[in-house]
């Protein structure tokens, strides 16, 4: 089935799942990830869309609690049915029930948290920013040294392999996490849960590729699908596969507002 058009969504809003990544899509990428607040216009547009669409979902690599804090979603009128699937779907929050599911920290991730500062220092990278997500550890080089991320990629991949972890590369970040669910699994599960007849997914980075693949496969199964890339000069892997290419989070906000204006 071809990609959705805006008319398809307007004709069947209750059958539509709108799922979005957070960083780089709803929020601008910033040096300090704890300050990456969601775009106010996007949040307002999602609140409008939440009243008419079958499901609005945030599918992010961030922990659920971070996404809630930085998005300001909790208790927002119009988002009373919002779901956030964090850490690629391993963590879940449902606005309708206020229930949060947070798995226990895997032992290999705990080991990594202990070993990583010394490991980085031995390689002359003790000045990078380490973000402990509980289920994963991320190494950020944004605002520090743009070339360092490439120097660390291979040794961090080897370290992940030694610990039985998987690597999620991103824009000036490398994340090591336990294997299991990815954003593609999350999108498929959300589609099945809603019984969605069409799905829109918006993302910006390599971690969103499994979600793109999931939507492409769902199209073959008769589910309508639209793929949106929040583009940047740092990452173009999604551009060729996207139905709509937008110039970063500001343009995503414009697109969401335009869709909300249709109802």
* Counted domains in the chain: 2
Chain position carrying tokens 């991103």: 170
244 is written with which tokens?
A: 């709509």
Range of the domain at 241: 6-103+181-261
- Say if residue 115 is in the same domain as residue 160: yes
- Say if residue 93 is in the same domain as residue 113: no
Q: How many CB atoms lie within 10 A of CB 152?
A: 19
Task: Identify whether 1 is part of a domain.
Answer: no
pTM of the model: 0.92
222 is written with which tokens?
A: 């008769």
> Are the C-beta atoms of residues 81 and 55 closer than 8 Å to each other?
yes
Domain boundary (135, 155, 177) is at 177
- Say if residue 139 is in the same domain as residue 250: no
> Are the C-beta atoms of residues 170 and 232 closer than 8 Å to each other?
no
Helix H, strand E, coil C: the string for 63-80 is CHHHHHHHHCCCCCCCCC
CA torsion through residues 63, 68, 74, 76, sign = negative
Contacting residues for 117 by C-beta, under 8 A, at least 6 apart:
126, 130
Per-residue pLDDT of the chain (263 residues; tens, 9 = 90+): 345 577 889 999 999 999 999 999 999 999 888 899 999 999 999 999 999 999 999 999 999 999 999 999 999 999 999 999 999 999 999 999 999 999 999 999 999 999 999 999 999 999 999 999 999 999 998 888 878 889 999 999 999 999 999 999 888 889 999 998 999 999 999 999 999 999 999 999 999 999 999 999 999 999 999 999 999 988 889 999 999 999 999 999 999 999 999 99
- H or E element, residue 110: helix 107-122
- Say if residue 161 is in the same domain as residue 58: no
Instruction: Specify the CATH number for the domain of residue 89.
Output: 3.40.50.1000
- Say if residue 65 is in the same domain as residue 12: yes
Task: Identify whether 15 is part of a domain.
Answer: yes
- Say if residue 97 is in the same domain as residue 111: no
Instruction: Specify the CATH number for the domain of residue 134.
Output: 3.30.70.1020
């Amino acid at each position: 089935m071809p990609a959705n058009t805006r008319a398809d969504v307007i004709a069947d809003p209750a059958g539509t799942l709108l799922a979005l990544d957070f960083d780089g899509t709803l929020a601008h990428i910033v040096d300090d990830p704890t300050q990456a607040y969601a775009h106010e216009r996007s949040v307002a547009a999602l609140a409008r869309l939440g009243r008419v669409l079958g499901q609005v979902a945030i599918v992010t690599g961030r922990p659920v609690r971070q996404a809630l804090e930085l998005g300001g979603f909790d208790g927002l009128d119009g988002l009373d049915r919002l779901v956030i699937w964090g850490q690629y779907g391993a963590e879940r929050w449902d606005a309708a029930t206020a229930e949060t599911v947070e798995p226990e920290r895997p032992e290999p991730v705990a080991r990594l948290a202990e070993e990583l500062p010394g490991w980085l220092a031995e390689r002359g990278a003790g000045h990078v920013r380490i973000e402990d997500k509980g289920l994963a550890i991320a190494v950020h080089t944004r605002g520090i040294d743009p070339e360092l991320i490439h120097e660390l990629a291979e040794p961090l991949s080897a370290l992940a392999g030694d610990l039985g972890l998987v690597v999620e590369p991103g824009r000036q970040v490398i994340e090591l996490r336990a294997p299991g669910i990815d954003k593609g699994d999350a999108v498929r599960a959300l589609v099945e849960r809603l019984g969605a007849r069409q799905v829109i997914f918006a993302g910006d980075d390599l971690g969103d590729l499994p979600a793109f693949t999931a939507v492409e496969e769902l199209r073959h199964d008769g589910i309508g699908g639209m793929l949106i890339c929040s583009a940047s000069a740092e990452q173009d892997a999604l551009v060729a596969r996207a139905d709509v290419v937008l110039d970063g989070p500001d343009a995503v906000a414009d697109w969401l507002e335009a869709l909300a204006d249709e109802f």
